Amino acid sequence: MTDQTQVPQSLPVTSADVDAAAKVIAPFAVRTPLLSPSVLSERVGARVFLKPELLQRTGSFKFRGAFNKLSSIPMSARGGGVVAFSSGNHAQGVAAAAKILNMQATIVMPADAPLSKRERTKGYGAEVVLYERAGEDREAIAGEIARKRGATIVPPYDDPLVIAGQGTLGREIAEDMAALGLAPDIVVAPASGGGLIAGVATAVKARFPQAAIIVAEPEEYNDHGLSLRAGHREAHHATGRTICDALMAAIPGKITFSINSQLLAQGVTASEDEVRAAVAFAYRELKLVVEPGGAVGLAALLAGRIDVQGKNVVIVLSGGNVDADLFARLVA
């Protein structure tokens, strides 16, 4: 990790790439607001802002990167369609982007992905191919489909165009904070493969180099925290499941970590119970429906895992795609 006031110049994704992505997605993506609920700020002793990507098209930030990537595919190469592999949010983002661009999408999804995510992916017109997490390789399955059909693979995070698209979220944070005459001291976002946090860090630190960018992860699924401390990519050691189904990548992406290792300040975690409490808090106090993976940064904040006293803090709520029955149990 580098001095937080210095932004490295040679990274695979730059703020100019994020600016270009913002122009591409602007006619189609939602510019989500920056909320500042007093009940949350008073509770933690900081001025807290929330970026609610649950209001984004398809219910998560993933549409941003997917649309930017698909838009870059030449017309001559669009006939074969696109193939993606995802537990749900990237699946929906790619499916929705493909529908807008009149392309066929095939999504390789785990058989245990939330039913709502599978059904919504199909609802956008995509073909869904299921696989077993324990014994099958989703990337190999997607690669074989792409080879047979001449399709373009759309990675969930380890792709510069995808990262730049996700970075538009950070760009909006920076613009909206500047419009308020404020500088963010801390920006917190969750990570699975690291595309969102890499894009956010790239955009925010271009305008506010002193901002500390913190990655939030479920306990045991803390591969980014482990990797940041080790100075190289390191897999987590989790063997079970987490209610944060969107945050289960085993190891940071190669491209994403080349960015995050230079721009992130630290990693924090939240337990399953803390995530449950955060989902319930968001619903009861903020009237927001946040999926567990999208609430892990809020969970870390509420649990006191981050020193925020007297600071300007931005928490990214990355999505709201949660099964109704699970959500009912979480807020009961």
In a domain, 5, yes or no: no
Q: What whole-number distance in Å separates Cα of residue 27 and Cα of residue 218?
A: 34
The rounded radius of gyration (Å) of the Cα atoms in the chain is: 18
Are 57 and 73 part of one and the same domain? no
Q: What is the tens place of the pLDDT at every residue in 136-173?
A: 999 999 999 999 999 999 999 999 999 999 999 999 99
Are 216 and 322 part of one and the same domain? yes
Q: What is the tens place of the pLDDT at every residue in 22-80?
A: 999 999 999 999 999 999 999 999 999 999 999 999 999 999 999 999 999 999 999 99
Which range of residues forms the domain containing residue 136? Answer: 62-153
CB 28 within 8 A of CB 57: yes
Q: What is the tens place of the pLDDT at every residue in 253-311?
A: 999 999 999 999 999 999 999 999 999 999 999 999 999 999 999 999 999 999 999 99
Are 101 and 224 part of one and the same domain? no
Q: What whole-number distance in Å separates Cα of residue 64 and Cα of residue 60?
A: 9
pLDDT band at 239 (very low <50, low <70, confident <90, very high): confident
Average pLDDT, the chain: 95
In a domain, 300, yes or no: yes
Last residue of a domain, one of 107, 136, 153: 153
Last residue of a domain, one of 153, 186, 201: 153
In a domain, 211, yes or no: yes
Judged against a pLDDT cut of 50, whether residue 1 lies above it is answered with no
Are 175 and 320 part of one and the same domain? yes
Are 142 and 203 part of one and the same domain? no
Span between the terminal Cα atoms of the chain, in Å: 41
Backbone angles phi, psi at 235, to 5 degrees: -80, 150
Backbone angles phi, psi at 70, to 5 degrees: -65, -35
Q: What is the CATH number of the domain that holds 94?
A: 3.40.50.1100
Are 19 and 126 part of one and the same domain? no
Are 279 and 213 part of one and the same domain? yes
